[in-house]
């Protein structure tokens, strides 16, 4: 935008490189049902398989490997649900990636740009949200991934944990929530409604009251990154870098951050 032309839109908000997801509304709700059903089932299945493999003592605390397997199963469920659904509706999806979609390196830079924008906004939202919830008498609780990082484990458990946080979760969650939910809603609702609703689903996934507002903020920024780049590369880079930074902060100062997802 230039000072001499007040009608020119702001590039960060106005740019749209997303292709429309050409599926019926009824099929979208089938996708939502399939997505959350697959997440729940695969999480349950992963935990059961891990319990069978490690054979914990009766009435003892579930081993870390069981929690990791449940989390990994949930992430896998997202990806499997999306890929299966895409296979089912491939005849309807006539949208092609637009020519203005950013190449890999530019999309990665777009993701990092939105990450830099997101951090100060998220910290402000987190501060006011925490003060508000504290005033209502709610008790602060850490997210399960943060608890697992702080508790540690065997070399194998730590390797799986860090891989899920830094790579698996960013890929699976971005494919499902931005590549699926936001892409569909974007052309069927007002812009900010589609961004807000997809971010709401994303924040709900992490099931932590104190993290809800900051994670919804991150979900909004991820949607803007995807909309600008037209490529999930920007989201995966953003999400992976965000989780990596938070992981490092938690390891260096456990009390410093409560928004890892």
Beta partners for 66? none
6 domain-assigned? no
177 domain-assigned? yes
Percent of all residues in the chain with a pLDDT value above 70, rounded to a whole number: 85
Asked whether the beta carbons of 241 and 111 are under 8 A apart, the reply is yes
Whole-number average pLDDT of the chain: 85
119 domain-assigned? yes
The pLDDT profile of the chain, 261 residues, written as one tens digit per residue, is 444 444 444 444 546 778 888 888 889 999 999 999 999 999 999 999 998 888 766 666 778 889 899 999 999 999 999 999 988 876 555 545 555 788 999 999 999 999 999 999 999 999 999 899 888 888 887 777 777 787 778 888 889 999 999 999 999 999 999 999 999 999 899 999 999 999 999 999 887 888 899 999 999 999 999 999 999 999 999 999 999 998 998 888 766 554 444
Q: Which pLDDT score is estimated for 90?
A: 62
Q: Which pLDDT score is estimated for 259?
A: 44
Q: 173, 156, 15, 31: which is closest to 98 by C-alpha?
A: 15
140 domain-assigned? yes
92 domain-assigned? yes
Q: Is 5 helix (H, G, I), strand (E, B) or coil?
A: strand
Report d(CA 26, CA 24) in Å as an integer: 5
- pLDDT tens, 128-153? 998 998 888 888 877 777 777 877 78
Q: Which pLDDT score is estimated for 47?
A: 93
Report d(CA 130, CA 137) in Å as an integer: 11
Q: Which domain holds residue 235?
A: 17-252
Helix/strand number for the chain, H first, E second: 11, 0
39 domain-assigned? yes
11 domain-assigned? no
Give Cα separations from 260 to 15, 32, 202, 215, 240 (angstroms).
29, 24, 13, 9, 11
- pLDDT tens, 214-249? 999 999 999 999 999 999 999 999 999 999 998 998
210 domain-assigned? yes
* Number of domains the chain contains: 1
């Amino acid at each position: 935008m230039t000072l001499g032309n007040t009608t020119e839109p702001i590039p960060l908000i106005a740019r749209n490189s997303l292709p429309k997801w050409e599926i019926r509304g009824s099929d979208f709700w089938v996708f939502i049902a399939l997505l959350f059903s697959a997440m729940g089932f695969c999480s349950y299945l992963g935990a059961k398989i891990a319990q069978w493999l490690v054979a914990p003592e009766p009435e003892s605390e579930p081993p870390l490997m069981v929690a990791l397997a449940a989390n990994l199963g949930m992430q896998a469920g997202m990806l499997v649900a999306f890929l299966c659904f895409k296979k089912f509706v491939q005849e309807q999806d006539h949208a092609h990636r637009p020519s203005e979609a950013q190449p890999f390196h530019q999309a990665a830079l777009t993701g990092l740009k939105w990450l830099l924008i997101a951090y100060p906004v998220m910290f402000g939202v987190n501060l006011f949200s925490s003060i508000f919830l504290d005033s209502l008498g709610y008790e602060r609780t850490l997210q399960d991934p943060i608890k697992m990082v702080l508790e540690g484990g065997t070399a194998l458990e730590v390797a799986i944990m860090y891989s899920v946080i830094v790579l698996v979760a960013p890929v699976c969650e971005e494919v499902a929530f931005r590549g699926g939910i936001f892409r569909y809603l974007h052309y069927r609702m007002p812009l900010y409604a589609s961004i807000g609703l997809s971010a709401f689903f994303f924040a709900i996934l992490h099931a932590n009251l104190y993290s809800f507002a900051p994670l919804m903020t991150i979900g909004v920024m991820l949607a803007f990154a995807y909309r600008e780049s037209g490529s999930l590369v920007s989201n995966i880079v953003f999400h992976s870098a965000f989780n990596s930074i938070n992981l490092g902060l938690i390891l260096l100062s456990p009390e410093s951050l409560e928004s890892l997802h």
